Structure 1
Amino acid sequence: MTVEHPTTESPTGPLAANVVGRRREIDRVSRALDAAAEHKFSLLMFEGPLGVGKSTLLDAAAEVAAARGFHGASALLAPEGSGSPLHVVHRLLDDVLMNVPGDVVETVVSVAKAQGFDLVPWLTEAQPPTGQDDRRVFASLARVVGALTARVPLCFVIDDLQCADASSLRWLSYLAERRLRLPVVFLLGRTAGAPVEHALALAELGMAAERVRVDGFGLGDTESFLRRVLRTEPEPEFVSTCARLTGGIPLLLRWCAVPSAEDFAVCGTPELGMAVLARLNRHSSELVRLVKVLAVLETPTLELSAAVTGLTAPAARDAVVHLVGLGLLADDVSIAFAHPVVRDSIAATVSHLEADGMHARAARHLHEASAPDLVIARHAVRTHARLGVGIAEALLRAADLPLTDRDPALGTAFLTRALREALPPELRRHLLLRLARSEVHRDPRRAAAHLSEALDYVDDPQSMCTIACRLAQILQFEGHYAEAAAVLRRAITDVGAANPAVVAQLRLALHAVVPGRAAEGAMVGDWRRFPGAGRELAALVAGIDATTGEDLVRGREAALVALSRGVNSILHEPHQLVATIDSLIRVDELDSALRHSVEMVDEAQRRGLELLGALGHTLRSRVHRHRGELPEAIANAQLAVADVRRAGGDPRHFTFVYATEALVRALVEAGDLTGAATAADAVGLTGLLPDSWHHACFLHARGVLRMRQGDVEGALVDQLASGERLAVWSGRNPPPRSWRSNAAMAYLRLGREQDARQLAVEGLELARRWQVPSSIARALLTVAAATRGPAAEASLAEAEAVLRGSPARLLHAQVLFALGTHRWQHGRSDLARRDLVLARSLARECGATPLLTAIEDLPADALLPGEAEAPVLPRRASVLLTQQERKVATLVVAGASNDEVARQLDVTRRGVEAHLTNIYRKLGVRRRTQLQSALADFAS
């Protein structure tokens, strides 16, 4: 009998020719086949992580062997089928003998019988070779193989070698150790890290075999693989992204290949997860349970993983080690997934019910182990199971952690989850209050619903007062004044006469939030005798005084008390916070108002609160407009509108209307009437508007726009309607939107001079009582326009004198223009030129295009040449910068940014901004580029 030697030309089939990235391994197989042709026994063991493509490699290698004339047999092993002795050897020999000529089978059987080994009963499993000496059986089987190779060379392929029985592993070691002169090649595939029942036997074989490591693809092979899968040329960025996220593992690349790199972030699919789990299940069901827990709970501790899966700690540790070896986990310390896409895909295979149970078991275990509240809460919030009061309390404590300031939605989720438990009334009330506090900036309607429910769980008068006031303020913000009044009146009734201090607070709140209430001066004046209310009550009083004009000194004092600890102290009461900062604007405390509105915006951005940010930007816009900084006013109002839209705000809601009013006013002053009309149209460019405070204020802004557009009658209608509505809240106070001045100007344009003078004089009387410079100057400007003639100059001169040193720069420019034109018309040209030059300089700095146009339309000799213009605000020798302000100014002039200044002086960025605000004010400049010349002037 002669051996048919294989060809030496190393032919390959389609699979081997097309396999990607495995040329080194295929070449090694070819060399082993060459050695077998010279009767040199070879045993190659290919090892690699799960999904690296060992099976594909072994199939390609078998194809190469077949093309070279080798007769082959293969065995794909599984743990449940490898229990009997020599199970793998039986499968290989059975496969070979089923596919060789009958005379070869007879020869082999004869050889076996000569060795005292009956091969046929064993192969039919009727009589397995038990009770015999292993070495003798191994020798007999070796001679059987030798008999087979007398006719044809053999190539045996065994995949998932870790599942082989111990006796088969020892027989393979026996063959390797004997170094038989036979044309035989064994190609073995082993999944690294997979559980091994017969570890010592496999280790012994590993020492005898030639081990070949199979790893993920490099960048070039990844590109080739993706090209084949996608059937198109992949982009370089896509290739590098795939290589980085998968480690070049073919299994992951095949399931995750998508048309673009942008889509790769969402490539985790249940199909990929099921493919991974199916392969794991071939090794151990415990690995499947554990890896699902790790994917769902997102890298928990080993102890928690064991508790949730029901494994013992040692078993969980062993499973983790296996998963690391399989390439699924990065290491056995962090127990994090090596490839996030695998984690996401496995998590996608877990049903909602199964995941719910995992999180419930995790929360209970962590609570019993006294884990941190935040750790417990993150699991409790993801299950619907009843967990008990203890975990509800942990959720409440977690919601109060600093982390939730940066992520308020997380705190809200914790509190909402805690409310699903069966709780005692006191804890439920506390949770409802805390939840409403976290929702007020994001979803005021839900906050109102939770406050309303909290009222059913409270008997304490002071607590009832606090809840009722907060609920009423939210309803006021929403424009539900009747509901707000009903809440407060019900609370007054429930509290009763036995608690006069609490009733007084409730009446004060009723006076603030409900239109039509008569002022109760004594009650407002005694606000300090309610120490329990603190800054919240001070904010309420500040808003009342600013709205009604009852007491300027008291209102300013209350505002300063309310903001004494910064906006954070009353951040949970946005309506009171807005009213307080707004009260500072109404009394010309613009620097303070800007500082607090900046702080408000910073807090909103830090916490991701769009509605709060919109309110802060709106307040900043109003401050900038009053200061004559129109570009900044427009920018902040646009940011406010964008914040509301991003938060999904209702166009009728206070926040949107408030922001739109600020935008319309700023655009009108800047001369952009088209932009102002577009902005106003979102609320209502014509027609009736809802009967609310914010719509009454918007009517005033719409009237100003219509006046500039030439619709004088429409403007008058809007201003009178605005004044009628505002009077319900503010009585006869002049600051709210100066509707009298605008209505008077409309009357003048319509020829109704008597009506104009009547409104102008009434406004001036109220302004003098209010004693705020900008209010007085605006009223004087209107009186001058209504009276005309020589008598008007006295009013205009007084208005200009009142505004000297005032931050109301735009109004100052308007007064100077009116005074200059009046003096020019009455022959006082020198004084007129000085006034008009100052008006032009201020108008330019403010960006007030309409006012600049009006000035430029004056006769040429009414203005001094441009180079002769005087500074807007004269320098005063008494103005001194503090030492820290000088340091800040010097660094800014040198070109340092605010962040760089903060680092060099070891202060916060907010501190630098506050210093710059003071520096600009003291030196009479508005921007950084003016600082150098201003400092030079100051030094001289």
Structure 2
Amino acid sequence: MALVERGSAVEALVGHLAECALGGARVVAVAGGPASGKSCLLDLFADRVADSGALLLTASGSRGEREIPFGALRQLAAGLPPAEGDFVDRVIAAARERSVVLAVDDVQHLDADTLGLLARVRAEAVGLPVLLVVTDWEPLSGPLTAHADHRLRLGLLTETGVAELLRAELDDDTAAAAYHRITGGNPLLLHALIADNRSDPAAAEPGLAFRQAVVACLHRWEPRLLAVARALAVLETWSSPAALAELTDQTEAVAARLTGVLTSAGVLVGWRLRHEAIRDAVLGGLTPTESARLHLRAARVLHQRRARPVDVARLVVASGEVDDQVLDEWVVDVLRAAALDAIATDRGEFAVRCLELVLPMTTGRVRAQTAADLAGAVWRHNPADLLCLSEVDPVTALRFTLWHNDPERPTEDAGLALANEWIRGCRLPTRVSTSWERASAALMPGLTRGALGEVIANAEQVLHGCPLGDRTVEVLAAAVTGLMLADRVDLAERWCVKLTAAAEQRRATTWLALLGAVTAEVELRQGAVRSAYATAQRSLDLLPARSWGVLIGLPLATMIAADTAMGITDSPALREVVPDNMGDTLIGARYLRARGHHYLASERVLAAIADFQACGRVVTAAGADLPGLVPWRTDLAEAHLRFGRRRAAMHLARGQSELPAAAAQHTRARTVRVFALAGHQPIRLLQEVTESFRACGDRYSAAVAMAELSAAIAARGDTARARRVAKSAADEATACGVGGLLDRVPTRRGDPNDHTATTLSDAEHRVANLAALGHTNREIAHKLFITISTVEQHLTKIYRKLGVRRRADLHAGLAVHSGRVADLGRSPVR
């Protein structure tokens, strides 16, 4: 083992040996804290004594032999040559022939009889070369060491010494500061930490060897030292001699002395244990019952000393239980006060633990309020955990039912009633009193009337006046959505950043999840496709699916739409399980719309039509037919154009354009785009659409419109200009994180002069009708007097033109082709 910062001590002892040889007995006491290297020093000195030719007698004190008379004397006498007389006479006789060194380790544990003989040796060896070297606890207090002729003190290793040892042991001293910070320079702890990190010296990570060394270090001293260390571990900053004395049943003087020992061992800095690993080590040996008892006793001590409720509660919570011995009224008061402080300072998990402990100890109004506080704290971090609570207050229970689309019921909470309007499309009966509540209540009616200026003003009033909290986060999210629908996506983005930062500071997981979903939707409206997907994925990951309820449709809709934009034809988000009752909510309509467009991009036109129709039914039934939120008419019109049904598409687009709620520029651009794709002045209108989307900040929609404009220009024969526009479209899409846009935009969608791509020939129509009726290919061939091969060729073209993939879909496909599907040509709401 390398000798570090102990060489001078060894040389000092060798010097005392040389002086003794000249004829002068003396006692040298070596002091130091636990595991400071006193025993190692004696071993090194013993090697030098052996080299000098002096007689070496050694012994080590033991706590177990302290009460055994002359227990250590046998060790010392074993090295004496045979002679007449008792031990002292024999030592004196040996000293007349050569120098004698008596090296005794842990002299504080020697029995009284052996100590008496050593005192006689010192007294009777005057003028003889006798050197008595003993190691003792610090401070020196024994009868032999208190009056020693010379004293040596071994301190902790410096950072320089630690670096020297690391170079010797690991050939790497880059982490010397960390090793010194963790061990305090205690040699035993340092060697243990080195052993834990031989494979990766730079890690400096305390492991099993380090924890074992901490316990061994403290066990070497008296038993009360470990008890004091454990008390310090739980009291932390509230430690003091008086508190330690009360907790460990010691006097203040003993407590103060033992904290000094811990400081000399390097494990204590001020009143705190040096490192968390040391704390874990000293508490690790306790049984669960012992640990609980220690923490509860410490809590009582702190309460009696008027400590802050949060500090007292921390100990009660750490105990994991409250037994009858501490079931006093002060426990209830402390836990409730600490929980309210934790809620106010956004330490939700601690608040939940306090309230869980105190709830069974309360009754009446206090119990009702405690249950409400507990439910609110749980909701903020994981709504699904409400299902594990025995009691939930009415407001939180209503919020849970709102997120899970359970039957509506009246509420006195205005925030929930207003949020319900944006989730389910109807407002719960309630009273509004504050200005922000009135402004929030006016958002949906303002959008319905197309009063965008009012919507913007009211949304900002909500965002400025409504504090972010458990009962208002949905209202604030709705206000941000209102700004987006009113073409102020720039303001929506700004408020998303501000609200998210506040939620992060408050460490409110549920808020972050909902605000993240809204932020992703805003990013998608801006055309930041990849960013929107990533934001939606992060928000989705914050909560388990059962916590989201029907609101899971928000992030999933964004992810599906982003995948569609990026050309992914099988979005993983579609495989996520959603609640069965999500479909009849506005959230569900947004999800269905995203899924419909995904189907449309995958040429599953009939499935897309079914989803768009469902969107129309949901928003109509909810009384929230907002084209800015769910433009189902233009979506359905686009699907019609896939079948060449130009007249039906334009009818739907006109129906949307006549709605007051379609006043937003972004919504108007969607409507005009349908007219353009249907072949009505496509170049002029697509130019207008492109500029409108740009003005709204929607770069991706602008890129799509430019790609379609390029196709329209190319159809007129201006290929040079078409190429320039196509390049601009591709560049814009790339900036949005989307590649391959030009490959996915149909070049002649809805061209009134091109019927061949979607119109069935007479022969194909006959084959399709028979196949839809269930006839086999052989039966069709027999009825129409054609070959089976011809039937198969016709069916291949029929599937492509009708946008179906299997025989079972032919009936619906023919109905769409002939305009007979559920009044597709009429708008359900005018």
* TM-score normalised according to structure 1 size: 0.67
User: Which of 113, 125, 147 is the aligned partner of 1:204?
Assistant: 147
Is the Cα–Cα contact under 8 Å of residues 30 and 64 in structure 1 kept in the other structure? yes
Deviations 1:744-774 (A, max 9, x none): 11111123334423432332233x3442222
Among residues 426, 429, 432, which one is paired with 1:530 in the alignment? 432
The one-letter code of the counterpart of 2:258 is A
User: Is structure 2 residue 233 aligned with structure 1 residue 295?
Assistant: yes
| Residues 232-255 of structure 1, C-alpha deviations (whole Å, 9 max, x = no match) | x56444666434422443321343
The one-letter code sitting in structure 2 at the alignment partner of 1:562 is V
- 2:379 maps to which residue? 440
Residues 610, 644 of structure 1: 8 Å contact kept: no
Cα shift at 1:665: 2.6
- Comparing 342-351 with 394-403, greater Cα deviation is found at 394-403
Q: Which 10-residue stretch deviates more, 291-300 or 570-579?
A: 570-579
**Is 1:436–1:447's contact at 8 Å kept on the other side of the alignment?**
yes
* 8 Å CA contact 2:335, 2:354 repeated in 1: yes
Change (3 A) 1:328 1:694: same
Asked if the contact 1:75–1:157 (Cα under 8 Å) also holds between the matched residues in 2, the reply is yes
Q: 1:367 aligns with which of 284, 289, 303?
A: 303
Q: CA deviation at 1:550?
A: 9.3
Alpha carbons 2:371, 2:392 under 8 Å: kept? yes
Q: Given the superposition, is the C-alpha separation of residues 823 and 76 from structure 1 closer, same or farther in structure 2, using an over 3 Å criterion?
A: closer
* Shift in alpha-carbon separation, 1:344–1:423, aligned structure 2, 3 A: same
In structure 2, the partner of 1:783 is 675
What SS is found at the alignment partner of 2:220?
helix
Moved more, 351-360 or 155-164: 155-164
Tell me the CA shift for residue 638 of structure 1: 0.4
Alignment pair present for 1:309 and 2:248: yes
TM-score normalised by length of structure 2: 0.75
Counterparts in 2 of 1:827 and 1:338: CA distance versus 1, 3 Å: closer
Deviates more, 1:382-391 or 1:647-656: 647-656
1:559–1:581 Cα contact (<8 Å) kept: yes
Residue 73 in 1 paired to residue 57 in 2? yes
Task: State whether structure 2 residue 687 is matched by structure 1 residue 761.
Answer: no
- Could you tell me which residue of structure 2 aligns to residue 938 of structure 1? none
Is residue 635 of structure 1 aligned with residue 581 of structure 2? no
The residue type equivalent to 1:213 in the other structure is: L
Q: Which amino acid aligns with 1:476?
A: L
Task: Give the residue type in structure 1 aligned to 2:281.
Answer: S
**Equivalence map 1:115-126=2 (5 Å):** none
> What are the superposed Cα offsets for residues 544-566 of structure 1, whole Å, 9 maximum, x if unpaired?
54897798677656534432236
1:298 is paired with a residue whose SS is helix
Tell me which of 253, 262, 282 is aligned to 2:190: 253
Question: In 1, distance between residues paired with 2:649 and 2:284?
Answer: 72
Unaligned regions of 5+ residues in structure 2, if any? Answer: 749-830
The match for 1:413 is: 353
Deviations 1:426-453 (A, max 9, x none): 2222222222222223211224665x82
Amino acid at match of 1:308: L
Q: What is the match of residue 881 of structure 1?
A: none
1:836 and 1:101 map into 2 onto residues whose CA distance is 107
Deviation of 1:739 after TM superposition, in Å, equals 2.8
Alpha-carbon distance change, 826 to 238 in structure 1, aligned in 2, over 3 angstroms: closer
Q: Secondary structure at the match of 1:370?
A: coil
TM-aligned CA deviation for residue 348 of structure 1 = 1.6
Equivalent position SS for 1:204: coil
Which of residues 281, 300, 305 is equivalent to 1:345? 281
Q: Cα 1:803–1:184, aligned 2, differ >3 Å: closer, same or farther? A: closer
Contact preservation (8 Å) 1:604, 1:612: yes
Per the alignment, residue 25 of structure 2 pairs with 41
Q: How big is the shift at 1:346? A: 1.2
Distance 1:838 1:60 in 2: 82
Percent of residue pairs identical: 22
Instruction: Work out whether 1:146 is the aligned partner of 2:48.
Output: no
Q: Which residue of 1 aligns with 2:36?
A: 52
Secondary structure, in 3 states, of the residue corresponding to 1:737? Answer: coil
Aligned to 1:343, the other structure's residue is in SS state helix
Question: Residue 600 of structure 1 contacts residue 616 of structure 1 at CA under 8 Å; is this kept in 2?
Answer: yes
Classify the secondary structure of the residue corresponding to 2:147. Answer: helix
Amino acid at match of 2:654: V
**Partner residue, 1:476:** 402
Instruction: Measure how far apart 1:327 and its partner are.
Output: 3.8
> Does residue 569 in structure 1 map to residue 468 in structure 2?
yes
Distance 1:94 1:636 in 2: 82
- Cα displacement string for residues 481-513 of structure 1 (whole angstroms, at most 9, x for unaligned residues): 2xx31xx54x67xxxxxxxxx599998777665
Q: Per the alignment, do residues 96 and 597 of structure 1 end up closer, same or farther by CA in structure 2, a change over 3 Å counting?
A: closer
In structure 2, C-alpha distance between the alignment counterparts of 1:179 and 1:210, rounded to whole Å: 19
1:156, distance to aligned residue in structure 2 (A): 1.2
Paired residues of 2:236 and 2:271 also in contact (CA < 8 A): no
Task: Give the distance between the partners of 2:710 and 2:78, measured in 1 at CA.
Answer: 115
Task: State the partner residue of 1:867.
Answer: none
> Counterpart of 2:504?
605
Query: Residue 732 of structure 1 aligns with which residue?
Result: 625
Partner of 1:644: 540
| Distance of 1:738 and 1:647 partners within structure 2 | 29
Distance 1:547 1:173 in 2: 100
1:184 Cα shift?
A: 1.9
State the alpha-carbon separation in 2 of the partners of residues 682 and 547 from structure 1. Answer: 33
**Aligned partner of residue 264 in structure 1, secondary structure:** coil
1:314 deviates by 4.0
Counterpart mapping for 1:440-589 below 5 A:
440-447=379-386, 450=389, 453-455=391-393, 467-468=394-395, 470-477=396-403, 480-481=404-405, 484-485=406-407, 488-489=408-409, 502=412, 514=424, 530-531=432-433, 535=436, 539=440, 541=441, 545=445, 558-565=458-465, 568-589=467-488
Distance 1:340 1:47, change over 3 A: farther
Letter in 1 for 2:493: L
Distance 1:269 1:546 in 2: 67
Q: Give 1:615's match in structure 2, choosing from 514, 527, 530.
A: 514
Change (3 A) 1:698 1:223: farther
1:651–1:682 Cα contact (<8 Å) kept? no
**What displacement does 1:320 show?**
2.1
Secondary structure, aligned partner of 1:638? helix
Deviation at 1:392, TM superposition (A): 3.2
Which residue identity is paired with 2:134?
L
CA shift for structure 1 position 47 = 2.2
2:125 aligned with 1:186: no
Q: Is the 8 A contact 2:186 2:265 kept in 1?
A: no
Greater Cα shift, 579-588 or 75-84: 75-84
In the TM superposition, what are the counterparts of 1:247-286 in structure 2 within 5 Å?
247-256=184-193, 257-258=195-196, 259-261=199-201, 262=203, 264-267=205-208, 271-281=212-222, 285-286=223-224
Residues 761 and 793 of structure 1, relative CA distance in 2, 3 Å threshold: farther
What is the one-letter code of the residue matched to 2:567? L
| Counterpart-to-counterpart distance in 2, 1:507 and 1:68 | 94
Match of 2:664 in 1: 772
**1:318 aligned partner:** 257
Q: Distance in 1 between matches of 2:206 and 2:421?
A: 55
Alignment RMSD? 4.7
Residue type at the aligned position of 1:245: I
Q: Evaluate the alpha carbon distance shift between residue 508 and residue 583 of structure 1 in structure 2; reply closer, same or farther with a 3 A threshold.
A: closer
Counterpart CA distance in 1 for 2:3 and 2:737 is 70
Amino acid of the structure 2 residue aligned with 1:155? V
Cα separation, 1, equivalents of 2:720 and 2:168: 83
Deviates more, 1:60-69 or 1:617-626: 60-69
- Residue 77 of structure 1: CA displacement? 3.1
SS state at 2:465 partner: coil
Report the 3-state secondary structure (helix = DSSP H, G, I; strand = E; otherwise coil) of the residue aligned with 2:31.
Answer: strand
Q: Which has the higher contact order (CA 8 A, sep 6+)?
A: 2
Q: 1:546 to 1:735 in 2, by over 3 A?
A: farther
Question: What residue in structure 2 maps to residue 665 of structure 1?
Answer: 561
Task: Look up the match of 1:702.
Answer: 595
Distance 1:335 1:801 in 2: 68
Distance 1:708 1:804, change over 3 A: closer
